[in-house]
Chains A and B, each alone.
Chain A
Amino acid sequence: EVQLVESGGNLVQPGGSLRLSCVASGFTFNSYWMHWVRQAPGKGLVWVSRITNDGSSTTYADSVKGRFTISRDNAKNTLYLQMNSLRADDTAVYYCARGHIIGYYWDYWGQGTLVTVSS
């Protein structure tokens, strides 16, 4: 059974940093591209970032470019999102999602972890 379990969400002050983790199981992690998607309270889904299966290429939404860094450790089956210079509008539930192996969509999602940026 495919499972994605996020952790690391917390309350952080504006300008602070946080690292999210997503532990994957039930599939060959190093074969899949992985993504982060976020959802502000009561709002819609927003794509944040993507990393290729070997970690050689990353892409970011304009809203987080230069502040967030996506990475992965295939030996630990773990995806990361390092978030720096956090702002109030980064407050959201952050989901990790598996990109389909031959497609441009997400076939499995984690349950999400809440990041709150507030003083």
Chain B
Amino acid sequence: QSALTQPPSVSGSPGQSVTISCTGTSSDVGSYNRVSWYQQPPGTAPKLMIYDVSNRPSGVPDRFSGSKSGNTASLTISGLQAEDEADYYCSSYTSSITYVFGTGTKVTVL
């Protein structure tokens, strides 16, 4: 199972919006609304930010939103803040009854 494809890095100024793409195949992202997103600041464990494509867990700011079209899912951070600087990973359930993560994207707040 190959990793989902994410851009290595994205950046934006405070207050701006950034979008991270996550491209898979018809065997994972394209077949299931089981895409989740995780935030990982350096040296810490991942934190769930979005589940089932577009749902936010309690406590996650509404600046974070998710969507999906075909084999590509996206995470958008609106109103970027300094505290959003971290690595972000997408994940999907697969037709092999396994799970796959994305390659990861480093978000930099300029």
Contacts and interface: CB of A to CB of B under 8 A. Distances in A.
Interface of A: 35, 37, 44-47, 50, 59-62, 95, 97, 100, 103-107, 109-112
Contacts of A95: 45-46
A23 B68 CA distance: 35
A103 B53 CA distance: 12
A42 B45 CA distance: 13
Contacts of A44: 3, 89, 101-104
A44 B104 CA distance: 6
* Dominant SS among interface residues on chain A: strand
B52 interface: yes
B34 A45 contact: no
9 contacts: A37-B46, A45-B38, A45-B104, A47-B98, A62-B1, A104-B34, A105-B52, A107-B57, A111-B45
Closest 8 CB pairs of A and B: A105-B36, A104-B34, A47-B99, A44-B104, A109-B45, A104-B93, A45-B101, A105-B51
